Chains A and B, each alone.
Chain A
Amino acid sequence: MTVELTAELTALAQYVASGLVVGSIYGLIGVGFTTVYNVTGIVNFSQGDFASLGALGAIGLIAAGVPLPVALAIAVLCVGLLGVLIERVAIRPVGNDVLRGIIITIGVGVALQGIAVLVWGTDAQPLRAFSGEKPVNMGGVTVPPQAFWVVGTAAVLMMLLWLFFTRTYVGKAFRACAVNAYAAGLMGIPTRAMRSFSFFVAGLTGAIAGVIVAPIALMQYDSGIFLGIKGFVACIIGGFGNPVGAALGGLLLGLLEALSSGYLSSGYKNAIAFVVLLAFLFVRPSGLLGELEAVKR
Chain B
Amino acid sequence: MKRIAVLVAVLGAVYFSGNGYLMNLCVVTALFTLPALGLSLLMGYTGQISLGHAAFVGLGAYGSAILCKSLGLNPWLAIPLATATATLAAWAIGWLVFRLRGHHLAMATLAFGIIIHVATVELKGLTGGQDGLSGIPALSFFGYAMNSDAAIFPFAWLVCILGIVLAGNLVHSPAGYAMRAVAESEAVAASIGIAPDRLKRRIMALSGLYAGLGGALYAHYLGYISPGPFDVGFSVRLLLMVALGGFAGIWSVLFGVLFVVMTSELLKPFGNYDVVLYGVLLVVVMVWCPRGLLDGLAMLWRGGMRMWRGAQAAR
Contact = CB atoms under 8 A, between A and B. Distances in A.
Q: In their complex, do chains A and B touch, with some C-beta pair under 8 Å? A: yes
Contact of B243 (A43, A103, A232): A103
Contacts of A60: none
A107 B103 contact: no
Contacts of A201: none
Interface in A212-229: 225, 229
A118 B271 contact: yes
Interface SS majority for chain B: helix
A282 interface: yes
A185 B123 CA distance: 55
Interface in A39-59: 43, 45
A117 B276 contact: yes
Nearest to B236: A110
Interface string B109-134: 01110110010011000000000000
B273 interface: yes
B264 to A, nearest CB: 13
B100 A94 contact: no
Nearest to A91: B287
B111 to A, nearest CB: 4
Nearest to A278: B111
A285 B287 contact: no
Contacts of A117: 272, 275-276
B279 A281 contact: no
A110 B104 contact: no
Interface string A85-101: 00001100110001110
B96 interface: yes
Contacts of B51: 106
Nearest to A112: B279
B107 interface: yes
Contact of B102 (A93, A98, A122, A278): A98
Contact of B273 (A114, A236, A268, A271): A114
Interface in B232-285: 232, 236, 239, 243, 271-283
B47 interface: yes
Nearest to A275: B115
B108 to A, nearest CB: 5
Interface centre among B121, B280, B282 (most CB of A within 10 A): B282
Interface string A28-72: 000000000000000101000000000000000000000000000
B279 A110 contact: yes
A275 B100 CA distance: 16
Interface in A108-130: 108-115, 117-118, 122
B25 to A, nearest CB: 22
Contacts of B283: 90, 104, 107-108, 111
Interface centre among A94, A115, A268, A274 (most CB of B within 10 A): A274
A268 B122 contact: yes
B279 A109 contact: yes
B154 interface: no
Contact of B114 (A90, A267, A270): A270
A232 B282 contact: no
Nearest to B235: A106
A277 interface: yes
A274 B47 contact: no
A123 to B, nearest CB: 12
B243 A113 contact: no
Nearest to A94: B287
Interface SS majority for chain A: helix
A102 interface: yes
Given A93-B287, A98-B103, A99-B47, A114 B276 contact: yes
Given A229-B110, A232-B107, A281-B108, A107 B102 contact: no
A102 B232 CA distance: 15
A276 to B, nearest CB: 10
A158 B232 CA distance: 31
B106 interface: yes
B301 to A, nearest CB: 21
Contact of A278 (B108, B272, B277, B282): B108
B67 interface: no
A114 B279 contact: yes
A114 B277 contact: yes
Contact of A94 (B110, B114, B282, B286): B286
23 contacts: A90-B283, A99-B49, A106-B51, A106-B239, A107-B281, A107-B286, A110-B278, A112-B279, A114-B272, A114-B273, A114-B276, A114-B278, A114-B280, A117-B276, A236-B107, A268-B122, A270-B118, A271-B118, A277-B108, A277-B111, A278-B111, A278-B112, A282-B96
Given A117-B272, A271-B115, 19 more contacts: A45-B106, A94-B286, A98-B102, A99-B47, A100-B286, A100-B287, A104-B282, A108-B279, A111-B280, A114-B275, A114-B278, A114-B279, A117-B275, A122-B272, A229-B107, A232-B107, A267-B122, A268-B118, A270-B114
Interface of A: 43, 45, 89-90, 93-94, 98-100, 102-104, 106-115, 117-118, 122, 225, 229, 232, 236, 267-268, 270-271, 274-275, 277-278, 281-282, 285
Interface of B: 47, 49, 51, 96, 99-100, 102-104, 106-108, 110-112, 114-115, 118, 121-122, 232, 236, 239, 243, 271-283, 286-288, 290
Closest 10 CB pairs of A and B: A111-B279, A114-B276, A107-B282, A110-B279, A114-B275, A43-B103, A107-B283, A274-B111, A117-B272, A98-B102
